[in-house]
């Protein structure tokens, strides 16, 4: 007698998919058109046809442990050619959003970030935290124009005569360093859990395992390089122009990271090794002609342009293709735009010598950057990390560590 497999669909998961943009999945009748046009699909891996079946059946664990949902670059071909309007691309996007919550740590914060109804709380937490620290610091006052032009935002959290660390840097570090390490730990924990779940479907050779060096050099480094180059975006058809928004956005984050590192070295390391007069110069706003300041301005503009292009494209897709508007997509787009506009705006207003408005923009900028850090593991921003992990896993499952030499 053949064995009977009992399928118990996760009805809550199906309900979530419908609310997160996957409401069209029931239209799928398994014609396999999506798998024919998808550059990821192979004869042995009918992507995304199998994912559409699993989604309809509510097989949560299988989908959450499926690396293909993260390897998908949402090129849009499957949605464009689907004869039933099942929009597989939107369904896969909803599954990815669920996966970040599913693997999120801690679960309470991950679930908080998954629902637009919680937006006031998501904004209120950093506003309250930074506001309280600003008040405690004693810096909650607006400087006069002359002082503001001299020190810029260098005394936003006040001033003290401590040689080794400025008061402003102390409070900024107090806010952002824990947020950064918390986000890094949370996304590492989530990604490592996902790797473990994905590995359960493999049959690796227990006597032939990669070392940590091989994991990094053979799988992760090539995945990171491929991701930075946006190689797979070139395989997209309908949505190939998304690279026009993604690439400047990625490059802007790299540029701003370089500038932040330079600012730290200039203001908080080199200043310890020079005279008091030189220290005052180093702590002052970086001159506009400084190459790193130029890079910072270019990076800020690239960030705004990149996210603006994605904003336009997302709006157009919703109007012309009927793409479902989701909090998952718009939260990150709006947040990054806020970071870029308030950062560049605060700098421009500082140059015009309007301290009250500049301080307001700078406060909003700090809040938005803190949100970007703290909520990164649970938003679409985390996709960058999870996709790299999935790409590394793809290389691992095709390696000799899993497939014996000569195996097809």
The predicted-structure confidence for 116-143, as pLDDT tens digits, reads as follows 899 999 999 999 999 999 999 998 889 9
Mean pLDDT within 347-364: 94
How far, CA to CA in Å, does 98 sit from each of 114, 151, 187, 258, 326? 8, 45, 15, 33, 12
Residue 406 predicted with pLDDT over 60: no
Mean pLDDT within 307-313: 89
The model's pLDDT over 145-170, given as tens digits with 9 standing for 90+, comes to: 988 988 889 889 998 887 778 888 89
Q: Give the angle 312-111-18 at the CA atoms, nearest 5°.
A: 60
Between 281 and 294, the more confident residue is 294
Instruction: Report d(CA 387, CA 69) in Å as an integer.
Output: 9
Residue 205, pLDDT score: 66
What is the enclosing helix (H) or strand (E) of 168? helix 167-199
Q: Considering the chain, what is the average pLDDT of its residues?
A: 86
Mean pLDDT within 200-224: 84
- Supply 20's token pair: 């997160």
pLDDT range class, residue 240, cuts 50, 70, 90: low
- Supply 26's token pair: 């029931």
Instruction: Report d(CA 46, CA 40) in Å as an integer.
Output: 9
The model's pLDDT over 36-93, given as tens digits with 9 standing for 90+, comes to: 888 778 777 788 888 898 888 888 888 989 998 988 877 778 888 889 888 888 888 8
Kindly list the domain boundaries of the chain, sorted by start residue: 11-102, 108-219+238-397
Mean pLDDT within 225-232: 77
Residue 6 predicted with pLDDT over 90: no
Mean pLDDT within 205-228: 85
What percentage of residues in the chain have a pLDDT greater than 90? 37
Residue 235, pLDDT score: 62
R_g (Cα) of the chain, nearest Å: 24
Instruction: Report d(CA 63, CA 59) in Å as an integer.
Output: 6
- Supply 367's token pair: 């809040």
The model's pLDDT over 89-105, given as tens digits with 9 standing for 90+, comes to: 888 888 888 888 899 99
pLDDT range class, residue 403, cuts 50, 70, 90: confident
Residue 405 predicted with pLDDT over 60: no
Task: Tell the burial category of 389 from Cβ atoms under 10 Å away from its Cβ (0-12, 13-18, 19+).
Answer: buried
Mean pLDDT within 185-202: 92
Which ranges constitute the DSSP H helices of 58-105?
A: 60-64, 68-71, 77-81, 88-102
CB 160 within 8 A of CB 171: no
Minimal CA–CA distance to 208: which of 393, 402, 398, 392? Answer: 402
Lowest mean pLDDT: which of 64-78, 235-249, 265-279?
Answer: 235-249
Burial pattern 319-351, b for ≥16 Cβ within 10 A else e, equals eeeebbebbbbbbbbebbbbbbbbbbbbbebbe
DSSP state of 344: H
Written as one string, the DSSP assignment of 248-315 is HHHHHHHHHHHHHHHHHHHHHTGGGGS-HHHHHHHHSPPPTTSHHHHHHHHHHHHHHHHHHHHHHHHH
Residue 1, pLDDT score: 45
Report CA 38 to chain centroid distance, whole Å.
Answer: 24
């Amino acid at each position: 007698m053949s064995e009977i497999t009992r399928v118990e669909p996760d009805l809550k998961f199906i309900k979530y998919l419908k609310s997160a943009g996957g409401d069209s999945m029931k239209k799928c009748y398994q014609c396999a058109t999506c798998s024919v046009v998808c550059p990821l699909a192979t004869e042995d891996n009918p992507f995304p046809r199998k994912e559409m079946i699993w989604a309809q059946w509510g097989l949560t664990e299988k989908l959450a442990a499926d690396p293909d949902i993260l390897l998908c670059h949402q090129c849009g071909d499957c949605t464009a050619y689907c004869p039933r309007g099942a929009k597989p691309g939107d369904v896969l996007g909803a599954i990815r959003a669920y996966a970040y919550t599913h693997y999120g740590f801690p679960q309470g914060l991950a679930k908080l970030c998954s629902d637009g109804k919680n937006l006031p709380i998501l904004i209120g937490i950093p506003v309250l935290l930074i506001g309280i620290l600003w008040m405690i610091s004693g810096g909650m006052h607006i400087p006069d124009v002359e002082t503001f032009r001299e020190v810029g935002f260098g005394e936003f959290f006040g001033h003290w005569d401590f040689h080794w660390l400025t008061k402003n840097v102390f409070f900024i570090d107090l806010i952002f360093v824990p947020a950064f390490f918390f986000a890094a730990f949370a996304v590492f924990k989530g990604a490592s859990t996902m790797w473990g779940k994905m590995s359960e479907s493999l049959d690796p050779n227990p006597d032939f395992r990669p070392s940590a060096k091989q994991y990094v050099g053979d799988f992760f480094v090539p995945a990171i390089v491929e991701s930075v180059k946006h190689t797979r975006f070139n395989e997209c058809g309908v949505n190939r122009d998304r690279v026009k928004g993604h690439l400047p956005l990625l490059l802007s984050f790299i540029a701003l990271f370089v500038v932040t590192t330079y600012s730290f070295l200039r203001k908080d390391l080199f200043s310890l090794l020079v005279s008091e007069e030189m220290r005052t110069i180093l702590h002052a706003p970086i001159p506009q002609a400084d190459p790193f300041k130029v890079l910072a301005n270019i990076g800020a503009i690239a960030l705004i342009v990149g996210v603006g292009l994605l904003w336009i494209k997302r709006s157009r897709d919703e109007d012309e293709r009927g793409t479902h508007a989701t909090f998952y997509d718009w939260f990150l787009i709006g947040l990054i735009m806020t970071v870029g506009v308030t950062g560049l705006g605060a700098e421009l207003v500082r140059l015009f010598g309007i301290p009250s408005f500049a301080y307001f923009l700078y406060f909003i900028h700090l809040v938005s950057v803190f949100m970007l850090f703290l909520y990164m593991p649970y938003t679409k921003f985390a996709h960058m990390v999870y996709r790299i992990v999935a790409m590394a896993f793809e290389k691992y499952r095709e390696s000799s560590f899993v497939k014996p030499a000569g195996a097809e």
